[in-house]
Structure 1
Amino acid sequence: MSLRRFLPDNFTLCLIATVIAASLLPCRGSAAQVFNVLTDLAIGLLFFLHGAKLSREAVVSGLTNWRLHLTVLASTFVLFPLLGLALKPVLSPLVTPELYIGVLFLCTLPSTVQSSIAFTSMARGNVSAAVCSASASSLIGIVITPLLTGLVLQSHGQGAMSWGAVGEIVLQLFVPFVAGQVAQRWLGGWVQRHRPLIGLVDQGSILLVVYTAFSAAVLEGLWKQVPVSVLGGLLIVSAVLLAVALVITRYGSRALGFDREDEITIVFCGSKKSLASGVPMAKVLFSAHALGMIVLPIMLFHQIQLMTCAVLARRYAERAGVNRRKIVGPAETATAD
């Protein structure tokens, strides 16, 4: 049973299968153009559905806890980029320069939505605040991430991000999201009743981007540039970034005087990075031949954060159960259970 906690989920297996398919059968020529068009359409539909799903009432209900939301946003958009730059002397020798650019891009991404809320709920944290923080992070990231990417890459000696790239992000991601929010009053109920549809579009769009990205990268000689030793180095880099973020968000939230439920929300919303937002943004911001190197760190960090946070959420929940038994006593606990 404990071994299953560390096994990859079905979506991760699909990602691995997609990378293998792109490595063996990369799309090229007219087929690549068709896949690019399909990918753009799927991404637009994804953000439209996310806009239609997001309940304004749920967001408003969590807005009062502004200190928590500012802390989460600071962790996501300030702490992570600073870690990516500050740890460069230690971590960059472990990977290639191209992969480290992918790591820096990872540091600028918004938080996840679904898994942040799910882990907060599992750990018995402040779920309404998690809904608000994760949703706000995802929405703000559409604009902040490309700007941060430009600043971080410029400090890394890679040149500034063009305003045209920011405009493309807004057009391809933000406009469909706003359109979904406008249509939320009519489509919100239908979308809530068909949540698997969003999951299908979500995962399908990511798999399409991964396939086209790795196809282009394989044709450019990706696997000659990324041996097994470099993948091992990337694993260490991702693990170190996540570990430092988890420690800072946990003990930082306590130092700031947050209670246990808010601490849980800060830990799970402030330490995570979104694969669903990151992959579409990377497609717009980076050239096709570099995209595989950019997406690879996001995919690896995604799996590490899921496995680590699953274990951490269970420990939080177990600790909450122990504390509750101490407060209410054995008899009341048995009745409540």
Structure 2
Amino acid sequence: MLKRFKVDSFVIAIVISIVLAYFFPQLGASNSPVPLELISSFGISLIFFFYGLSLNSEVIKNGLKNWKLHLTVQSSTFILFPLLILPFFPLFKDTSYELLWLAFLFMAALPSTVSSSVVMVSMAKGNLPAAIFNASISGIIGIILTPLWMMPFITQTDVAFDFSSIYFQLISEIVIPLILGLFLRKFLGSWAQRHKRQLSLFDKFVILLIIYKSFVHSFEDEIFSSVSLLEMGAMVALVLLLFFIVYSLTGWFGKLLNFNHADRITNRFCGTKKSLVHGTVFSEALFGQTSIIGIILLPLMFYHAIQILIISVIAAKKGKEQQKELN
């Protein structure tokens, strides 16, 4: 039972990064001799370059056949999630909670995860090729849709944003490296597959570096002084509520569209996930010039921990049920 509820090591690493940012901010401070901004920017470019190298064109070609499932998953990721957050905007507009609402919208507009979605679907005996396709294509769609969801509301905040620099950063750090990776996949794709584990560790290292740097700046500007422990507890409760609403709705859509058992698992597991990797990277592009990035990432980090914990338990249970039926 304890093994089933084992805390994800990456979640622990995130907590450690935030603690280090609070007690040892020297490396990420504004006057630090270490160019963390440049290092994290270069790291982001490499993440998407390796992502392009790792994309399997055959899986994507074959995956297009199951269009009804893919359309449902991507609609859940990029339409259902934001639409559950949008109606509450009038309640929080021009209040002290508007920034927290924006953080929830940012989380809701993000792509699905890649590795954890595939692993969980595999564990639960779902449609694995469809999971790989949706996880892969979600990151590409997110490059376009996530900023589109955010831009109208970013302009209404009191924070000054330079949109030319935002678009330049999105193109230079994400789009160009991704395209370059896709072009070089023929030559370096096999190398990327062989070193998949090391590249995954590199991704996580860059994300932890960005989280550390972002929280250092937030602590420097005392941005968290406006968020109480009670509000953080409410944030966790809202994240939980959002997860179970989407999990229930994706299950209902699966039944409505007569998906088979394997497709229902993939629809639910991929359609309820949000990517911390993409979230951290996009937050750098959209909010990187401000100190609010720490608060912007809070709901996402809570959601990341919750989705891994809950889906891993459900996946293990469904995998055992399927195994019993086969036996």
Q: What corresponds to 1:267 in structure 2? A: 268
Q: What corresponds to 2:66 in structure 1? A: 65
State the Cα distance separating 1:288 from its structure 2 match: 2.7
2:2 matches 1:3:
yes
Map residues 213-252 of structure 1 onto 2, 5 A cutoff. Answer: 213-252=214-253
State the Cα distance separating 1:8 from its structure 2 match: 2.1
Tell me if structure 2 keeps the 8 A contact 1:146–1:166.
no
Deviates more, 1:164-173 or 1:100-109: 164-173
- Distance in 2 (CA, whole Å) between partners of 1:25 and 1:229 is 26
Partner-residue secondary structure (3-state), 1:233: helix
- Distance in 2 (CA, whole Å) between partners of 1:315 and 1:289 is 42
Map residues 84-95 of structure 1 onto 2, 5 A cutoff. Answer: 84-86=85-87
- Distance in 2 (CA, whole Å) between partners of 1:6 and 1:88 is 35
Deviates more, 1:220-229 or 1:135-144: 220-229
State the Cα distance separating 1:158 from its structure 2 match: 8.9
- Distance in 2 (CA, whole Å) between partners of 1:113 and 1:74 is 17
Q: What corresponds to 1:143 in structure 2? A: 144
1:191 is matched by which residue type in structure 2?
A
Partner-residue secondary structure (3-state), 1:272: coil
2:188 is matched by which residue type in structure 1?
L
State the Cα distance separating 1:199 from its structure 2 match: 1.3
Map residues 1-337 of structure 1 onto 2, 5 A cutoff. Answer: 2-26=1-25, 27-31=28-32, 34-86=35-87, 96-151=97-152, 162=163, 164-286=165-287, 287-324=289-326, 333=327
- Distance in 2 (CA, whole Å) between partners of 1:133 and 1:155 is 33
Structure 1 residues 156 and 3: CA distance shift in structure 2, 3 A: farther
Tell me if structure 1 keeps the 8 A contact 2:247–2:272.
yes
Structure 1 residues 149 and 227: CA distance shift in structure 2, 3 A: same
Partner-residue secondary structure (3-state), 1:288: coil
Tell me if structure 2 keeps the 8 A contact 1:147–1:166.
no
TM-score (norm 1): 0.89
* Percent identity of equivalent pairs: 32
Q: Which runs of 5+ in 2 are unaligned?
A: none
Deviations 1:222-249 (A, max 9, x none): 3422222121111011101111110000
1:140 is matched by which residue type in structure 2?
I
Structure 1 residues 67 and 315: CA distance shift in structure 2, 3 A: same
- Distance in 2 (CA, whole Å) between partners of 1:161 and 1:311 is 43
Tell me if structure 1 keeps the 8 A contact 2:8–2:308.
no
Tell me if structure 1 keeps the 8 A contact 2:49–2:180.
yes
Partner-residue secondary structure (3-state), 2:241: helix
State the Cα distance separating 1:198 from its structure 2 match: 1.0
State the Cα distance separating 1:63 from its structure 2 match: 1.3
Structure 1 residues 138 and 32: CA distance shift in structure 2, 3 A: farther
Partner-residue secondary structure (3-state), 2:262: helix
Tell me if structure 2 keeps the 8 A contact 1:214–1:292.
yes
Partner-residue secondary structure (3-state), 1:31: coil
- Distance in 2 (CA, whole Å) between partners of 1:45 and 1:184 is 14
State the Cα distance separating 1:100 from its structure 2 match: 2.2
Partner-residue secondary structure (3-state), 1:5: coil
2:193 is matched by which residue type in structure 1?
Q
- Distance in 1 (CA, whole Å) between partners of 2:218 and 2:78 is 28
Partner-residue secondary structure (3-state), 2:245: helix
The count of residues paired between Structure 1 and Structure 2 equals 322
State the Cα distance separating 1:163 from its structure 2 match: 6.0
Partner-residue secondary structure (3-state), 1:3: coil
Q: Which is helix-richer, 1 or 2?
A: 1
TM-score (norm 2): 0.91
1:14 is matched by which residue type in structure 2?
A
Deviates more, 1:133-142 or 1:21-30: 21-30
Tell me if structure 2 keeps the 8 A contact 1:151–1:161.
no
Structure 1 residues 224 and 156: CA distance shift in structure 2, 3 A: closer
Tell me if structure 2 keeps the 8 A contact 1:143–1:166.
no
Tell me if structure 2 keeps the 8 A contact 1:104–1:153.
no
Q: Which runs of 5+ in 1 are unaligned?
A: 325-332
State the Cα distance separating 1:157 from its structure 2 match: 10
Structure 1 residues 44 and 246: CA distance shift in structure 2, 3 A: same
